[in-house]
Amino acid sequence: MEHTSFPPLSRVAICGGTHGNELSGVYIVKEMQKQKVEKIGSVSVISVLSNPPAIDVCRRYTETDLNRCFSDAKLSSTLTDSAAYEMRRAHELNAQLGPKGGEKAVDLIIDLHNTTSNMGVCLILSYLDWLTLHICKYIQTKMTSAPVTVMQLNDSNADGYSLDMLGKHGFAIEVGPQPHGVLRADIFNMMKRTLDFTTDWLQEFNDGHIFEGGEVETYSFLRSVDYPRDASGQITAAIHPQLQDKDFTLLQPGDPMFLSFSGETVKYEGEPVYPMFVNECAYYEKKIAFHLAEKITLKVPSISVKN
């Protein structure tokens, strides 16, 4: 593959509290703001609390999920008086960190999230980007204390709905398991370390280091599975104990998926796949018990900064 260059990454945004009850990111950003962190080496840093009213009440959102408000369609819609707070906030953030797709957008957005799922450290890319894939590859080699997985959502730029879409490059750092509204020191420390490795990479990149090409194993989103429900829409089963906490462990046909309240096991039928976001609290209302993914190994070219 041909070597690829990118312009320097001089403006980076670190966002926490995009979901107000995902506390690692909230406290990392609060600390950065307390310590008035504006520069890390050669990189100027904007630290943002994405959804302050949601943070204040320690809820995911106040009216609508902020992290679904950044598609092209939503960002270009005219805001009426009755527009949800998060829609207005998305437009504000687009003006501050974007505009999405524009020249003035920040070079990189790192959006900090937690999940109730047992996903460890998971780096989430809305779409394929050699630069962010290199960051992921670097973090994977540096983090020896815990496995780091890379997830790709396969969104087109236009459809990409998450906050990290606003920057020229962007990705989310998702760390779990942590209950929403809880701040665990071990999870906080893992996220902090992941963020520190990211800023280390940015230094090296801006300094001209050539990052060798290679392979990155990713989990590519296929589809979602909902809970079994009764006629009135009520859940009738829980994630089976043998699937619970088994994010990124291969699920084969015949494996248990759900255990109904009346004691029946519902088994998985289909091609072997990788479950992720297993039993994420926020996804009950989105009718998702877990996502399914296939493992795809991507080849990345060598990259360096364009001078």
Partner 1 sequence: VSVDLMCLAARLDEARRVAIFGGTHGNEMSGVMLVNLWVQNNTEVQRKGVEVQPFITNPKAVEKCTRYVDTDLNRAFTPENLSTLGGGDLPYEVRRAQEINRMFGPKGSPEAYDVIFDLHNTTSNMGCTLLLESSKDHFNLQMMNYIQKSIFPASCLVLLNEHPLLKYSTSRSVAKHPVGLEVGPQPQGVLRSNIFESMRDILKHALDFIELFNAGMEFPPCTVEVFRLSERIDYPRDDNGNIIAMVHPNLQDCDWEPLNPGDPMFQTFDGKTIHYQGSGTVYPTFINEAAYYEKQQAFATTRRESLVASAIRKA
CB of 196 to partner 1, least distance (A): 12
169: Cβ contacts below 8 Å, ≥ 6 apart: 9, 107, 108, 109, 129, 131, 132
- Is residue 182 part of the contact set for partner 1 (CB under 8 A)? yes
| CB-nearer residue toward partner 1: 78 or 262 | 262
* Per-residue x/- track, 105-124, partner 1 (CB under 8 A): -----------x--------
Per-residue DSSP letters for 186-252?
Answer: HHHHHHHHHHHHHHHHHHHHHTTPPBPPEEEEEEEEEEEEPPPB-TTS-B-EEE-TTTTT-TTS-B-
Please provide residue 165's backbone torsions phi and psi, each rounded to the nearest 5 degrees.
-70, -20
- Is residue 42 part of the contact set for partner 1 (CB under 8 A)? no
Q: In this chain, which of 222, 238, 298, 305 binds partner 1, going by CB under 8 A?
A: 238
| CB-nearer residue toward partner 1: 45 or 239 | 239
Q: Is 103 a catalytic site residue?
A: no
Question: Which of 286, 287, 289 is CA-nearest to residue 247?
Answer: 289
Q: By three-state DSSP, how is residue 159 classified?
A: coil
| CB-nearer residue toward partner 1: 113 or 180 | 180
Question: Which residues would be at the binding site for partner 1 (CB under 8 A)?
Answer: 27, 30-31, 58-59, 116, 177-186, 188-189, 234-235, 238-241, 244, 259, 261, 279, 281-282, 284-285
Catalytic machinery residues:
174
Binding residues for Zn(2+): 19, 22, 113
